[in-house]
Amino acid sequence: MAIRTIRYDKLVRDRIPEIIEMDGKKAEIEILGDEEYRRCLNEKLSEELKEYLESGKLEELADIMEVIYALVDLEGTSRDEFECIRAEKEADRGGFRKRLFLKEVRVSTD
């Protein structure tokens, strides 16, 4: 019996190997070190952002958040701490709810 190999070489969600094997296939995985994990998370973030920009689907935003949470964890920060950082920035600079689009700023030259 011939065996066909499909190469992915990408970061996947934790349960993907289990799901693959439940389908009768064999998944070969590697546990990444911090540096490689960060690089792969950054690639995944770019991939998920591209998918969201192309589809506009809320599901893709959830994927982006999952990658962001993994990056937060890698930084050694809790999600609560991260939310505090986000909330502080919002309190200081505001959010994007008002849909403000800055067209120009006039500066006095005298």
pLDDT for residue 78 = 97
pLDDT for residue 1 = 78
Residue 88 forms part of a structural domain: yes
pLDDT for residue 50 = 98
Please tell me the total count of domains within the chain: 1
Residue 4 forms part of a structural domain: no
DSSP per-residue codes, the chain: ---------S---TTHHHHHHHTT------PPPHHHHHHHHHHHHHHHHHHHHHH--HHHHHHHHHHHHHHHHHTT--HHHHHHHHHHHHHHH--STT------------
pLDDT for residue 2 = 87
pLDDT for residue 106 = 95
Say which residue the tokens 């990658």 belong to. 67
Q: What is the mean pLDDT of each run of 10 residues along the chain (110 residues)?
A: 92 97 96 98 98 97 98 97 98 97 94
Residue 99 forms part of a structural domain: no
Residue 108 forms part of a structural domain: no
pLDDT for residue 37 = 98
pLDDT for residue 95 = 97
Residue range(s) defining the domain that contains residue 84: 16-93
pLDDT for residue 102 = 96
